[in-house]
Amino acid sequence: MIRDGWPFFDEREVAHLREPHRFRTVDLSLVSRLLEPYWQWCADRVPASIAPNAITLTGFALVLGVFVATLAGDVTLRAAPSPAVCAAAIASIFAFQTLDAIDGKQARKTGSSSALGNWIDHACDVASVQLAMATTGASIGLGCGPALLFLLGSIIVNNFVTHWETRHTGTLHMGNGTSIYEAQLTMMAVHGLTLAFGPALWSRAIASLVPALVVLPFSDAPLRLWIVVLGVGLIGGVGMVGSVLRVKRATGLGGGRALELAAPAMLCVAGALSLRALDESAWMPVTFSVALLGLRLIAGQILGQLGGGRVRAFDLAVVPLLVSSLALPLVPARVGVALAWANLLLSFVVTVGTYVGATLAIARVLDVPVLTLPPRR
């Protein structure tokens, strides 16, 4: 017989999951304030027979579908998606944003709020941002490589720190730079510009578009790199600093808590070392290995918060990529390529297994269905 919660929760964490569900959010996002009337209008029209989790997963499926279409066009993400895919990307991000905003309202309306809904909501949030950001990277011609790794790695660290803060303070802060709504709006704008002006826009030097900016350092750098650096700095950097400061004020920031932030940083460093040692033909599996393992690390933070478990400073799933990143300069090129693809396969298995397995485990612990409303008791 499989123990309830195994292998994600021990007995104490299972008991914590079964306690009345409580979750506090501080939403300072201007975008959410502007769209709240529209979201409420949509929520009022959702039939009471539809489960909140089905709403969340539908939005995620739309974003996943567009990512798969982008990957089918060019697995390296170097070729810009077709206009149809760009338009679909805008529609899928907006649809996910809407559905993600109304699933909680539907949960309250149907009296079905639970730790399972909390997990699915946040799991789909972090996964959809990674998928949509990869599609956006293709839209501006980043391709799998250092720039896309920097972009996805920054999103990983940002989401990790956000949920790390939630574990230590009990509050999810949004709108101080970390809000998913601002990130979604930025991605939709990027796709819109690609549709309007073509992908060649992102290859132009920023000084050629705005001559007054010629005085800036790196004014001859392509616009795509400015978008990556400024987007990460404005949307992610401010939020991460705010998260660290709030944890420091609430609980202090000793060596132990600071060490908890090492895992995503080590993951990104391992990815960068791997890219440096490999030919461009193997950059794709490395980039997506980092993205998948980042999602695994974030999942650990979310599950720890839900179960009230101790914070683990390291995840053994990252070890193979760390070891191979150090070994790549010492092995023949063909062996390095094989290691890159093996890491991608392993990362996919452990990450998808974590998300699917945790969903089923929480549903088993709470004795509630995943895609339908629980029977009234």
| Cβ neighbours, 10 Å, residue 320 | 18
**CA–CA gap between residue 245 and residue 295 (Å, rounded):** 24
The residues that bridge with 26 in the sheet, in sequence order, are 173
> Which of 25, 261, 287 minimizes the C-alpha distance to 133?
287
Q: CB neighbours of 126 closer than 8 A, spacing ≥ 6?
A: 159, 295, 298, 299, 302
Do residues 366 and 311 lie in contact, with contact meaning Cβ atoms separated by under 8 Å?
no
> Which of 177, 27, 180 minimizes the C-alpha distance to 94?
180
Question: Is 21 tagged catalytic?
Answer: no
Q: Which residue has the tokens 């989790």?
A: 53
Q: CB neighbours of 364 closer than 8 A, spacing ≥ 6?
A: 2, 4, 5
Distance of CA 63 to the CA centre of its chain: 12
| Cβ neighbours, 10 Å, residue 14 | 20
Catalytic choice (122, 168, 173, 191): 122
Q: Which two tokens stand for residue 148?
A: 């896309």
**CA–CA gap between residue 269 and residue 259 (Å, rounded):** 16
Q: How far is CA 296 from CA 9, 266, 358, 363, in A?
A: 16, 14, 11, 19
Q: Which residues are catalytic?
A: 122
